């Protein structure tokens, strides 16, 4: 409402400012020095009022853009960063490129472009009606008719040039995301690239990506040229058209008997009315280039929204395959019941898996690379749906009954205290400095206390510089010792550690009473498990029970 009020106030002030020249013509032609002196101050007040109204209108537009970005970003983040949704979108919807860019950049550009359009057009329709009426009074139907014909022609021409720009903006933003992602990867793998002496090749790849981006950007520049030429032509033509319109009543004799002074004032006042009506239409036409950008951003944001709707359905279907134990059932059991699993590319991972994992029954999945070991853990986590069968997991009570540690440790942007508590799903969960010291000793990272300013100092990329890959894996193991889960699912979670530390941590976790379900290629790790599930990569598997020394085959 404030936005509209400011817009109306600005247009009222602009009208009186537009009448200033006609009054000056009258004063100056009559050589009225007293009237001139008295009129200067009101003119200055009007001009400064117009400037103030325009500034506040832009200010309110900025607040509008901030509010729009906040609401849209929160909505998309709530849809995107939620259990299973983010993973499902990234893994199963490759057609939706760079969702991070769409949320962080495209929504921002959408909001800013919308602000520019709204600021210029907030009350334009009302002002078009008003100035049409004022123009009609002076020129009759001919003046507004010429202006409306001018507007319709300009709209048709602009529309012809807009659609190609919309498509170009869409693909340009796609390549913007790819180019940004390439540089993110360069930063992430800088050490690996340096070891391989791969800078020259990476530079070539970056240059190729930049060339592709600039090609799309040049396409937009090329396609905007005729649109800009049309808009600018219509803008300049408007100034001539206003005098053609005011000439109609003058040559028709409507102002016969007026002296030169009065006629100058009439021409100035009425040419302003016609010119401002043309300006309003020109402003509307000029928004066409912004509308083309807005349409491109809308298409990318809308595509992401459609994908999130599909993901929500997929995640809901995952829940039917991944059931949690009911209250009256055992809470110390994980069970795969007649599970058949396919990858998203329709490769058979495993057929008819039946496996019960009870407390104390440590299970290791082994097999060649690509045989589907991690895929089975994804089904256990509810990330992949089962083609057949069900996976049962314990119901969640206080804390975390199951903790997953992947091969690539995830260190958050946060403090050392945050790293240990992550993911802190229980707001009441806390950890004292003394407990942190004890846990660091537990995972053989006591020296980390001396590397951080305090346990509450927030670090971001510094973690990867502060800790080696093996130390990062040890730090996330501290989460297991803090939460003391019933089950710890370890997907090559010790692959970067030395054998001694690896043996120490496995023994410590098992001694704590946590049952481990592991994927590993290390014989010393496999020795800590009494049940071995061997995958053949063709959907078949064998289960070996060390204590019973028996095995069977299923396919």
Q: What is the DSSP string of 119-168?
A: HHHSSHHHHHHHHHHHHHHHHTTHHHHHHHHHHHHHHHHHHHHHHHHHHH
Tell me the DSSP string of 276-344. Answer: HHHHHHHHHHHHHHHHHHHHHHHHHHHHHHHHHHHHHHHHHHHHHHEEEPPTTS-SSEEEEEEEEEE-T
pLDDT at 267 over 80: no
Predicted confidence (pLDDT) per residue in 433-460, tens digit: 999 999 999 999 999 999 999 999 999 8
Percentage of the chain surpassing pLDDT 90?
Answer: 34
What residue has token string 């300013």?
453
Going by C-alpha positions, the residue among 296, 298, 287, 289 that lies closest to residue 68 is 298
Residue 524 neighbours by CB distance under 10 Å: 13
Give the range among 149-153, 178-182, 284-288, 527-531 with minimum mean pLDDT: 284-288
Q: Who has greater pLDDT, 271 or 116?
A: 116
Q: According to CATH, where is 1.20.1560.10 located in the chain?
A: 67-310
- Give the separation between CA 157 and CA 36, rounded to whole angstroms: 45
DSSP 25: H
- pLDDT-derived band of residue 3, with 50, 70 and 90 as boundaries? low
Predicted confidence (pLDDT) per residue in 497-516, tens digit: 999 999 999 999 999 999 99
User: 107: which 2 tokens?
Assistant: 């929504």
- CATH 1.20.1560.10 for the 67-310 domain, yes or no: yes
What residue has token string 């180019």?
179
Q: According to CATH, where is 3.40.50.300 located in the chain?
A: 333-545
Superfamily per CATH, domain 333-545: P-loop containing nucleotide triphosphate hydrolases (3.40.50.300)
pLDDT at 338: 93
Partners of 402 in beta bridges: 487
Predicted confidence (pLDDT) per residue in 306-350, tens digit: 999 999 888 877 665 555 444 445 567 899 999 999 988 888 999
Predicted confidence (pLDDT) per residue in 394-419, tens digit: 766 545 688 999 988 888 888 999 89
pLDDT at 421 over 80: yes
* SS3 category, 428: coil
- Give the separation between CA 85 and CA 107, rounded to whole angstroms: 19
pLDDT at 426: 60
- Give the separation between CA 546 and CA 549, rounded to whole angstroms: 5
What mean pLDDT is reported for the chain?
83
Predicted confidence (pLDDT) per residue in 49-84, tens digit: 888 887 888 888 888 899 999 999 999 999 998 888
Residue 499 neighbours by CB distance under 10 Å: 12
What residues contact residue 382 under an 8 Å CB cut-off, 6+ apart? Answer: 84, 318, 319, 321, 322, 391
Predicted confidence (pLDDT) per residue in 129-169, tens digit: 777 777 787 777 777 888 788 778 877 877 777 778 878 88
pLDDT at 326: 43
280-301 average pLDDT score: 79
pTM: 0.71
Predicted confidence (pLDDT) per residue in 115-134, tens digit: 888 877 776 777 777 777 77
Going by C-alpha positions, the residue among 132, 129, 126 that lies closest to residue 4 is 126
Predicted confidence (pLDDT) per residue in 189-227, tens digit: 776 677 677 788 888 889 989 999 999 999 988 988 888
């Amino acid at each position: 409402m404030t936005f509209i009020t400011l817009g109306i106030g600005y247009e009222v002030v602009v009208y009186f400012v537009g009448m200033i020249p006609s009054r000056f013509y009258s004063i100056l032609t009559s050589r009225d020095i007293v009237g001139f002196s008295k009129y200067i101050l009101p003119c200055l007040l009007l001009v400064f009022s117009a400037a103030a109204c325009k500034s506040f209108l832009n200010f309110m537009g900025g607040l509008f853009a901030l509010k729009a970005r906040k609401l849209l970003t929160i909505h998309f983040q709530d849809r995107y960063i939620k259990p299973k949704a983010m993973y499902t979108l990234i893994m199963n919807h490759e057609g939706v490129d760079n969702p991070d860019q769409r949320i962080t950049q495209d929504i921002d550009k959408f909001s800013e472009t919308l602000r520019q359009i709204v600021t210029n057009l907030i009350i334009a329709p009302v002002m078009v009606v008003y100035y049409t009426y004022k123009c009609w009074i002076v020129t009759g139907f001919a003046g507004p008719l010429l202006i409306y014909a001018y507007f319709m022609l300009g709209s048709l021409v602009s529309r012809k040039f807009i659609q190609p720009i919309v498509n170009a903006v869409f693909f340009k933003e796609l390549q913007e995301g790819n180019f940004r992602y390439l540089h993110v990867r360069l930063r992430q793998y800088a050490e690996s690239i340096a070891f391989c002496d791969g800078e020259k090749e990476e530079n070539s790849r970056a240059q190729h990506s930049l060339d592709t981006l600039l090609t799309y950007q040049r396409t937009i520049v090329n396609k905007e040229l005729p649109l800009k030429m049309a808009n600018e032509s219509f803008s300049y033509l408007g100034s001539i058209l206003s005098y053609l319109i005011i000439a109609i009543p003058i040559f028709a004799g409507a102002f016969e008997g007026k002296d030169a002074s009065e006629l100058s004032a009439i021409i100035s006042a009425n040419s302003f009315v016609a010119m401002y009506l043309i300006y309003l239409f020109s402003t509307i036409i000029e928004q066409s280039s912004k509308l083309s950008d807005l349409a491109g951003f809308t298409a990318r944001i809308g595509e992401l929204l459609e994908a999130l709707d599909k993901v929500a359905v997929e995640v809901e279907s995952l829940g039917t395959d991944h059931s949690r134990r009911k209250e009256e059932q055992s809470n110390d059991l994980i069970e795969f019941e007649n599970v058949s699993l396919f990858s998203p590319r329709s490769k058979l991972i495993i057929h008819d898996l039946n496996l019960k994992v009870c407390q104390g029954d440590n299970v290791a999945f082994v097999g060649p690379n690509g045989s589907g070991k991690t895929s089975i853990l994804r089904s256990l986590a509810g990330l992949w749906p089962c083609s057949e069968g069900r996976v049962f997991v314990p119901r969640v009570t206080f804390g975390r009954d199951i903790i997953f540690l992947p091969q690539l440790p995830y260190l958050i942007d946060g403090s050392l205290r945050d790293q240990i508590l992550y993911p802190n799903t229980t707001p009441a969960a806390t950890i004292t400095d003394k407990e942190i010291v004890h846990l660091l000793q537990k995972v053989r990272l006591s020296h980390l206390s001396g590397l951080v300013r305090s346990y509450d100092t927030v670090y971001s990329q510094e973690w990867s510089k502060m800790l080696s890959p093996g130390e990062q894996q040890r730090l996330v193991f501290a989460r297991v010792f803090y939460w003391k889960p019933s089950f710890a699912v370890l997907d090559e979670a010790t692959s970067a550690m030395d054998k001694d530390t690896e043996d120490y941590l496995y023994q410590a976790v098992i001694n704590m009473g946590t049952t481990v379900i592991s994927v590993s290629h290390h014989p010393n790790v496999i020795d800590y498990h009494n049940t071995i599930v061997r995958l053949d990569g063709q959907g078949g598997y064998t289960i070996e029970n060390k204590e019973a020394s028996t095995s069977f085959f299923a396919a």
